[in-house]
Amino acid sequence: MARRKLVYEGKAKILYEGPEPGTLVQYFKDDATAFNAEKKDVIDGKGVLNNRLSEFFMTGLQRIGVPTHFIKRLNMREQLIRQVEIIPLEVIVRNFAAGTMAKRLGLEEGTPLPRPIVEFSYKDDSLGDPLVPEEYIIAFGWATQQDMDDIVALALRVNDFMAGVMHGVGIKLVDFKIEIGRIWDNDFMRLIVADEISPDSCRLWDIETDRKLDKDVFRRDLGDLADAYTEVARRLGVLPKNTTPGPKPTLIN
């Protein structure tokens, strides 16, 4: 098979040219990074789990009418997606205070918020993805007021879906990040959910124990990241057959 053309390589994923115009192949790596890639490791099996989990969330969203870039899973680490023009924003939805919000406002992590809060960071690693008000986004032309209204509505629908699914398996959706892309059907522009939805970009706490089941396990050295993601996949019933990062083989003399 001819080598595929690489379109973009990010910290946790690679995009290749897809088989049809307007499509891409999204490959999930095992690399984990945090603090703007100052902390790095390779976590065996993370890519396989995130490919499955993102497929699970994206197809679930499509079933309730939320448009996403997902077309189909191709294999353990790859999925076919629609090519979009990514809006350069990290769209963050928070249900409970955590991370930078907890720090900024001096709130204890886990404090329930009066309502879901949607906020935006400008996607630029060299600047550390700074938080930006909607006014900046519109003034700098990254999105229009109409886009922003649509993005907030989309983000809240994703939040309701994700929070419900997670609650069903005993997990609290503390916060998450999505990215939004533009696609054109002839002259008609639409905004759809793109990138990935996985424990890399959510905060997920066990409802009973507050055990962290997301990338904070890696950021804060709280244990084995693959174990945490496997637990999320197991509860959701999306554990891939024969591909779980099980125990390492032991040598028997």
Q: Which residues bind ligand TYD (CB under 6 A)?
A: 90, 92, 98-101, 121, 129, 175-177, 201-203
Nearest CB to ligand TYD, comparing residues 92 and 148:
92
Phi-psi region of 57 (alpha: psi -120 to 50; beta: other; left: phi over 0): alpha
Cα-based distances in Å from 209 to 154, 169, 171? 30, 13, 10
Nearest CB to ligand TYD, comparing residues 101 and 194:
101
Nearest CB to ligand TYD, comparing residues 124 and 149:
124
| CB of 125 vs ligand TYD, minimal distance in Å | 9
The tally of CA atoms less than 13 A away on the side-chain side of residue 186 is 0
How many CB atoms are closer than 10 A to CB 165?
16
| CB of 41 vs ligand TYD, minimal distance in Å | 16
Nearest CB to ligand TYD, comparing residues 213 and 233:
213
| CB of 86 vs ligand TYD, minimal distance in Å | 13
| CB of 248 vs ligand TYD, minimal distance in Å | 28
How many CB atoms are closer than 10 A to CB 223?
12
* Contact assessment for residue 202 and residue 105, using Cβ atoms and an 8 Å cutoff: no
| CB of 201 vs ligand TYD, minimal distance in Å | 4
Nearest CB to ligand TYD, comparing residues 147 and 214:
214
Nearest CB to ligand TYD, comparing residues 129 and 147:
129
How far apart are the C-alpha atoms of 138 and 201, rounded to whole Å?
25
* Contact assessment for residue 69 and residue 84, using Cβ atoms and an 8 Å cutoff: yes
Question: 32, 31, 12: which is closest to 196 by C-alpha?
Answer: 12
Coil, strand or helix: which one is 120? strand
Host H or E run for residue 217? helix 216-219
